[in-house]
Amino acid sequence: MDIRTNKKKQRRLLAVILAAVLILGVCAAVIVLTGKAKADDIVILYTNDVHCAVDEDIGYAGLVAYKRWCEQNTPYVTLVDCGDALQGDVIGAVSDGEYPAELMNRAGYDFAVLGNHEFDYGMEQLGRLMEMTGAQYLGCNIRYTGTEDAAPLSRLLPYKIVSYGKVKVAFIGVSTPESIVKSVPAYFCDENGNYVYDFYGESGEELYRRVQENVDACVKDGADHVVVLAHLGTDASSSPFTSPELIANTRGIDAVLDGHSHSVIPCDIVKNADGENVLLSSTGTKLCNIGRLTITAGGNIQTGLIGTYPETDSEMAGCIESMEERFEAELTKTVAVSEVALTTSSDSGMRLIRNRETNLGDLCADAYRAVSGADIALVNGGGIRADISAGEVTYGDILSVHPYGNTLCVVKATGQEILDALEMASRSCLPDADDGENALGENGGFLQVSGLKYTVDTSVDSTVETDEQGNFLSCGDSRRVKDVMILGEDGSYTALVPDEIYTVASHNYLIKEGGDGLNMFMDNELTVDEGMIDYEILMTYLMDGLNGTVGEEYALPQGRILIK
């Protein structure tokens, strides 16, 4: 059989399948490449959780090529993004989000919503980024209660109605109320520490009511179809603010295009408050798919995902290449100066940061505590990977220190849980008191700390018990870690109280995943949930907390961990 004839038959078969889908009013839960739009079809292309992956998978060059292919078949093509586009990789970090924002502008995005990580650059920078993308940002549930006339998010609209010929489609933006705890809470406050931004997140009912008000307003304004651009996700941990819960508690929405949970959903059908079908779709993350929603002249709606596309736009590809060259140059730029050498290892190559306090460990832990505002900070030595020499400190140096891209978490913990974490981290791999550099071994879970100090008595045998996977189970009455003291706001130390609640800053690997067997915080209440990336935390502390200079106070370990 002739290959071209076979492809034609495949296209005809797909057309029949899609026609049946449209007749039945059900969405296309398939990967679609060959379904051309008709001249009067409305095509909405959507992305979510790109996280700066400008050249991965389909990439922006493939997205633009596919968009232009759609525009050859219908004039009614709209490109939207459902949040977390501007943060997540080094190209965003070195430019404060400006490089990916510039690429979004070149791609021709029409609408976008704010994901929780868009806020990681702070409100002032976010306002600039919104302008740079060229997209109209939508957010019906973001409220500013401050007194400044020109708030950074003043451009934000709750919704926008677009006329495609005689058909009107309303786009409503919804951002997750989790944004405050999944970014940096301080960014949502005024200079006095009072929250001036919120997301109608006091309860699920408050969010649903706010969205319903905007749906009703769109229908009143003549919208034939209502499409919600959401950054809510489907994770149970996000309840009651998930997209299925939003659909189930509202009416009048035709489709929800979603982000936040990185879910790959070609199409789900969710019943709304009236028992009617609403389409739900999400593309995954990092441009592994492009979403396509089609509204036909007959009013039928379908969604599907484009998983691959063979063409790329040469102009966009060239722009990305040029930007990556600029990005590489940024890595050599100086962001701070260190008056002292900051170390992880001894001259002989022993990785001291895995069995004792080091000055670089102090610096990294201080960064977590300063940026988060937590009572204490814990950073595993295995997550601090390179030295910083005295002199100029570059972006590249910081990325070498924290290469894993772990994200900031802050948890409420009892003093007893903190004691257990310190005991678990100190159970082995510690030098004997008179052994100098010679150590019993290395433990990547050894904790560098900020906001507390303590003693480890190596003459006491560890009584820590772990399961077969090495996770903490319990500890006996005999403990190595003693005299644990918490640093107060006045600079004095007081004894840690086992029954008292403290806030502990670390990262997702330790807090949420129980990395290195430190599982004692995994079920605790989070006050910051996967906010700023680790290298951004260190950069922020160097530039803002230390005003660009690491001084003599970090010349030596500061005596937070005494080993005897």
CATH number (domain holding residue 262): 3.60.21.10
Range in 33-42, 113-122, 317-326, 459-468 the model is least confident about: 33-42
Burial of 104 (0-12, 13-18, 19+ CB in 10 A): buried
For residues 407 and 116, the answer to whether their CB atoms sit within 8 Å is no
State pLDDT tens for residues 98-133: 999 999 999 999 999 999 989 988 899 999 999 999
Token pair in block for residue 140: 């019906």
Residue 8 forms part of a structural domain:
no
Q: What is the CATH number of the domain that holds 539?
A: 3.90.780.10
> Per residue in 338-395, pLDDT tens?
999 999 887 767 788 888 899 999 999 999 999 999 999 999 998 898 899 999 999 9
Same domain, 275 and 358: no
Residue by residue, DSSP assigns 192-218 as TS-B-EE-S-S-HHHHHHHHHHHHHHH
For residue 466, what pLDDT band results from cuts at 50, 70 and 90? Answer: confident
Same domain membership, residue 274 and residue 360: no
Mean pLDDT of the chain, nearest integer: 88
In a domain, 261, yes or no: yes
Can you give the pTM of this predicted structure?
Answer: 0.77
Which of 300, 323, 346 is a domain's end point? 323
pLDDT band at 510 (very low <50, low <70, confident <90, very high): very high
Identity of the residue numbered 13: L
Gap between the Cα atoms of 396 and 394, Å rounded: 5
The percent of residues in the chain predicted with pLDDT above 70, rounded, is: 90
Q: How many domains does the chain have?
A: 2
Q: Are 398 and 440 within one domain?
A: yes
Let me know whether 58 and 193 are in one domain.
yes
Spatial distance between the Cα atoms of 156 and 170, rounded to a whole number of angstroms? 15
Mean of the pLDDT values across residues 80-91?
Answer: 91
Note if the bond before 152 is cis, omega within 30 degrees.
Answer: no
352 domain-assigned: yes
Domain-embedded: residue 146? yes
Is residue 433's pLDDT more than 80? Answer: no
The verdict on residue 17 lying in a domain is: no
Q: Whose CA is closest to 365, among 425, 449, 445?
A: 449
- State mean pLDDT over 39-63: 94
**Residue 272 predicted with pLDDT over 60:** yes
Q: Are residues 360 and 444 in the same domain?
A: yes
Q: Are residues 422 and 548 in the same domain?
A: yes
242, amino acid identity: T
Tell whether 448 and 508 lie within a shared domain: yes
Whether 223 maps to a domain, the answer reads yes
What are the strands, taking DSSP E only, across 298-444? 301-306, 334-338, 376-380, 391-394, 408-414
Domain boundary among 270, 289, 323: 323
Token pair belonging to 468? 């077969």
Band (51; pLDDT cuts 50, 70, 90): very high
pLDDT digits (tens, 9 = 90+) for 212-227: 999 999 999 999 999 9
Is the pLDDT score of 32 beyond 90? Answer: no
Contact 298, 272 (CB under 8 A): no
The count of C-alpha atoms lying within 13 angstroms of the C-alpha of 65, restricted to the half-sphere facing its C-beta, is 17
Boundary-marking domain end, from 323, 345, 363: 323
Are both 305 and 338 inside the same structural domain?
no
The domain in which residue 487 lies consists of 334-563
pLDDT(502) > 70: yes
- Interval 173-186 mean pLDDT: 88
Residue 434 has pLDDT above 60, yes or no: no
Residue 240, Cβ density class (10 Å: 0-12 exposed, 13-18 middle, ≥19 buried): middle
Bridge-partner residues for 504, per DSSP?
376, 411
- pLDDT reported for residue 388: 94
Averaged pLDDT, 274-283: 98
Name the band, by pLDDT with cuts 50, 70 and 90, for residue 431.
low
Q: Tell me what pLDDT residue 327 has.
A: 84
Measured CA to CA, the distance from residue 540 to residue 222 in angstroms comes to 47
Judgement on whether residues 137 and 87 belong to the same structural domain of the protein: yes
- Any domain includes 328: no
Report if residue 500 sits inside a domain.
Answer: yes
Instruction: Answer whether residue 96 shows pLDDT above 60.
Output: yes
